[in-house]
Structure 1
Amino acid sequence: MKTVSGAMPQEWTEPAARMLLRALFDAAVAAAQPATTLARHLPGPVKGRTIVVGAGKASAAMARALEDAWAGPLGGLVVTRYGHSVPCRAIEVVEAAHPVPDAAGLDAASRILAMVSGLTADDQVIALISGGGSALMALPAPGIGLDDKQAVARALLKSGASIDEMNCVRKHLSAVKGGRLAAAAYPARMLTLLISDVPGDDPAVIGSGPTVGDPTTAADALAVLKKYRITAPAPVLSRLRAADDETPKPDDPRLARARTITIATPQASLEAAAAVARAAGVTPLILSDAVEGEAREVAKVFAAVARQAALRGQPAAPPCVLLSGGETTVTVRGDGRGGRNVEFLLALAVALDGRADVYALAADTDGVDGAEDVAGALVTPDTLARAARLGIDGKACLADNDGHSFFETLGDQVITGPTLTNVNDFRAILVVAQQVP
């Protein structure tokens, strides 16, 4: 991880601004690593067996951290995204597809359900859940095929639906989500360790809450499909309309022995980045850890805040950095590849229109911006001008939802590879000097 120590120079250069922004992002990712956050939350041994299960982009790293801190016998299985595996000794790690589920995820979910079924009150289950778990642990409910779930997943990803809305639908099409996994494990104790990738850190939303009671209903899931005009396969609509197999609710007695602990959050990562900014002599302002909305619309608001700082010294005088987390959305209408962080940055660059002394970085803390193996990108005051010299129209790329191609051509992508954690999006807008209005 890159670090920055001591006050930054009064005369800012582009390399100095880029270095600080990357150091902020690296600090945010480091604060969410399971190796430093998980061990202190582990339970003690029990009379019976300890079974470890899990799903998510961080689940393999969480399993490794658990093994490193655990003295007794254990076993189990976790499923993570292709390329996000780490070697474990006693816990099996399976890789599967994300964000659209595949057969490997289905098989892993079926095996996980079998592992937690038939346990006794003397046993305990430790569930390791992080962002991406919804797609990775995909076991369709009775009457629904994997192809049905894949079709709905693709439609939701393109629709602009929020993560809460997508996971509401996912829960009601699953045999393990929405508290069903915890219900299957009863009467064993269940401790769920969570890494939050959702605005508000709601355990019922993270990974679609396989071990948490579900307050939503099948009718709510139907309403989401209707809202976004998604034509779902007939088996999906039939199941949701019948509503005869609801998810376990928060007061379900089968969840009485289940508890959850969130071990890493977007807020903690923002605070870690803020500490790095202060050490560099830059005033940090954490705007929110739970920003939602269309990425391009959020960018317009944040551009206005950056201009206010540059022109008025409000809400802080430069040098300052505006920090935020959460999960925006992209409604893909063009032929581009989407990506909420690159869409945010391209819209920000257009809104700032070459304003001097404003730099920005936006990236997903898991290292993957949407379906791309790119975490995000950087914006500098000359981003649009450099693109124009290459014959690229930033506004046209934005209209086509083609932020990935735009920043790839400029060489301004942020590429980390799998970070083995996931606390959602990270955005930093650096204002380095106050200008004359």
Structure 2
Amino acid sequence: MREEDAKDLLKRMLNAAIAAADPAAVLARHLPEKPAGRCIVVGAGKSAAAMARAVERAWPDVDLSGVVVTRYGHAIETDRIVVREASHPVPDEAGHRAAAEILALAQSAGPDDLVLALISGGGSALMTLPVPPLTLNEKMQVNRLLLASGLTIEDMNRVRRRLSLVKGGGLARAAAPARLVTLAISDVPGDDPAAIASGPTVPDPTAGEDLSHLVAKLGPNLPDAARELLLRPAESQPTFTPDFRMIAAPQMSLEAAAEVARKAGVTPLLLGDALEGEASQLGIAMAGIARACAAHGTPVKPPAVLLSGGETTVTIGDRKPGRGGRNTEFLLSLAVALDGHPGIHALAADTDGIDGTEDAAGAIIAPDTLSQADNTGLKPRDFLEDHDSYSLFDGIDALIRTGPTLTNVNDFRAILIA
């Protein structure tokens, strides 16, 4: 397979994965029966604005109003639902104000009203309302510690739910006695409703757990108010059965990408939609699988593509990091481990269009990636050690820039063995 054809196929698979999670295409069929009273729309996440517009278009004849909050740069025009913007991944005052506004709207709902919650990845940082006496500035510090901690997304959500008035079912409790229906796009391993945006409309399954081990992991810079809340025995919460509807998830996107591969005469092997662990270590492991395919035709015979999703982590440590996200770090580790192996190309990207905090969704590698870097004076192993993968791929023009996709089903990885 020519290099141009390999790169084109990888990009078409990414586009198919993103399109499979487009709210404009998938949301309407999951809407509930129209309410007798008002429909109050609330929500948070990188896809919140696109989901809000999809609701408006599906229900032109319903008395709709509401507020959703999305990441800066992710807002789109809506007619009846107000779209706020706030900071991600570290919260800010705009997200704090939006969370208070959303909570108040939910509390205003009556028994004949429908509260429609639109939840997607990123909602945890965007809708921030800390439990007193924790302040917003202290909550921001907690988020920074979480992002650098190397904790799994499940452990991060244990912390976030315990420190929030909105998460862990807080929004659902505010909406009672109105009917509450949640439409969600999953960006988490296993599609756990309590983990998507830290579960504002579902009960907290870890409310009674001892979190002292996570407090220790976050270290001495954890604010005292946060430490006290995390170590305090959880108060009993009313139980409820949520009406929670998943409209898009990582597995759906992987299956859409797999269909593109089949039509191109390439055999897809789905390795899972919930892969976790250190990005660099996953890169090494995936390189081993790709080499086995090329050398022995196992676990799949070429031409083939290894597809996976999930959310890896990057543990920074004490040294100041360079620029990069978990997808470009995975790819740089993969490229180093493959060491120019012929016939293997790969793409990794965040389906929301932003890998970490950079302006790229991810990157693409080819057999000549390391030689390209060497020819431009860039040393791949040094960049990997410095967590500076973005800079290396930027230097060899290998970044993928999609802009905000207005959806988010987490990371997409494809390794093509020709």
Q: Please, what TM-score do these two structures have when normalized by structure 2?
A: 0.97
Give 1:227's aligned residue: 217
- Contact 1:172/1:221 (8 A) holds in 2: no
Once the two structures are superposed, residues 191-248 of structure 1 have per-residue CA deviations (whole angstroms, 9 ceiling, x without a partner) of 00010000000000000000000011365444223134363111111222333546x4
Q: Report the Cα offset of residue 368 of structure 1.
A: 0.6
Once the two structures are superposed, residues 116-167 of structure 1 have per-residue CA deviations (whole angstroms, 9 ceiling, x without a partner) of 1143221110000000000000011121111111001001101111111111
The separation in 2 between residues aligned to 1:214 and 1:49, in whole angstroms, is: 28
The separation in 2 between residues aligned to 1:86 and 1:345, in whole angstroms, is: 32
Matched, 1:403 2:389: yes
Q: Secondary structure at the match of 1:260?
A: strand
The separation in 1 between residues aligned to 2:368 and 2:108, in whole angstroms, is: 62
The correspondence for 1:116, drawn from 88, 91, 106, is: 106
Once the two structures are superposed, residues 366-411 of structure 1 have per-residue CA deviations (whole angstroms, 9 ceiling, x without a partner) of 0010111210000110111110111111111111111010101010
Give 1:180's aligned residue: 170
The separation in 1 between residues aligned to 2:42 and 2:220, in whole angstroms, is: 33
Aligned residues: 415
After TM superposition, the structure 1 = structure 2 runs for residues 259-278 of structure 1, keeping only pairs within 5 Å, are 259-278=243-262
Q: Say which is worse superposed, 329-338 or 95-104, in terms of deviation.
A: 329-338
Give 1:9's aligned residue: none
The one-letter amino acid paired with 2:372 is R
The one-letter amino acid paired with 1:42 is L
The percent of aligned pairs where both chains have the same amino acid is: 56
- Contact 2:211/2:231 (8 A) holds in 1: no
Kindly tell me: are residues 289 and 59 of structure 1, through their superposed partners in 2, closer, same or farther at Cα, counting changes over 3 Å? same
Q: Secondary structure at the match of 2:95?
A: helix
- Contact 2:159/2:230 (8 A) holds in 1: no
After TM superposition, the structure 1 = structure 2 runs for residues 28-107 of structure 1, keeping only pairs within 5 Å, are 28-70=17-59, 71-107=61-97
Q: Which runs of no fewer than 5 residues in structure 1 stay unpaired?
A: 1-11, 433-437
Give 2:11's aligned residue: 22
Q: Say which is worse superposed, 225-234 or 170-179, in terms of deviation.
A: 225-234
The separation in 2 between residues aligned to 1:414 and 1:332, in whole angstroms, is: 23
- Contact 2:210/2:231 (8 A) holds in 1: no
Give 2:411's aligned residue: 425
Q: Secondary structure at the match of 1:311?
A: helix
The separation in 2 between residues aligned to 1:80 and 1:37, in whole angstroms, is: 19
- Contact 1:63/1:128 (8 A) holds in 2: yes
Give 1:298's aligned residue: 282
Give 1:283's aligned residue: 267
The separation in 1 between residues aligned to 2:196 and 2:35, in whole angstroms, is: 27
- Contact 1:218/1:240 (8 A) holds in 2: no
The separation in 2 between residues aligned to 1:111 and 1:96, in whole angstroms, is: 13
Give 2:332's aligned residue: 346
The one-letter amino acid paired with 1:150 is M
- Contact 1:120/1:187 (8 A) holds in 2: yes
- Contact 1:161/1:228 (8 A) holds in 2: no
The separation in 2 between residues aligned to 1:230 and 1:13, in whole angstroms, is: 53
The separation in 2 between residues aligned to 1:277 and 1:199, in whole angstroms, is: 23
Q: Which runs of no fewer than 5 residues in structure 2 stay unpaired?
A: none
- Contact 1:378/1:412 (8 A) holds in 2: yes
The separation in 1 between residues aligned to 2:20 and 2:245, in whole angstroms, is: 16
Give 1:149's aligned residue: 139
After TM superposition, the structure 1 = structure 2 runs for residues 380-395 of structure 1, keeping only pairs within 5 Å, are 380-395=366-381
The one-letter amino acid paired with 2:294 is A
Give 1:360's aligned residue: 346
Kindly tell me: are residues 314 and 31 of structure 1, through their superposed partners in 2, closer, same or farther at Cα, counting changes over 3 Å? same
The separation in 1 between residues aligned to 2:146 and 2:21, in whole angstroms, is: 27
Give 2:399's aligned residue: 413
Q: Say which is worse superposed, 118-127 or 236-245, in terms of deviation.
A: 236-245
The correspondence for 2:306, drawn from 316, 322, 340, is: 322
Q: Report the Cα offset of residue 48 of structure 1.
A: 2.2
Q: Please, what TM-score do these two structures have when normalized by structure 1?
A: 0.93
The separation in 2 between residues aligned to 1:21 and 1:220, in whole angstroms, is: 44
The one-letter amino acid paired with 1:309 is C
Q: Say which is worse superposed, 222-231 or 313-322, in terms of deviation.
A: 222-231
- Contact 2:91/2:128 (8 A) holds in 1: yes
Once the two structures are superposed, residues 21-64 of structure 1 have per-residue CA deviations (whole angstroms, 9 ceiling, x without a partner) of 00000000000000011001111222222100000000000000
Give 2:357's aligned residue: 371
The separation in 1 between residues aligned to 2:234 and 2:293, in whole angstroms, is: 55
- Contact 1:225/1:231 (8 A) holds in 2: no
The separation in 1 between residues aligned to 2:176 and 2:151, in whole angstroms, is: 33
The separation in 2 between residues aligned to 1:278 and 1:418, in whole angstroms, is: 28
The correspondence for 1:129, drawn from 119, 122, 134, is: 119
Q: Secondary structure at the match of 2:273?
A: strand
The one-letter amino acid paired with 1:33 is D
The separation in 1 between residues aligned to 2:68 and 2:95, in whole angstroms, is: 10
The correspondence for 2:151, drawn from 138, 152, 161, is: 161
Kindly tell me: are residues 429 and 262 of structure 1, through their superposed partners in 2, closer, same or farther at Cα, counting changes over 3 Å? same
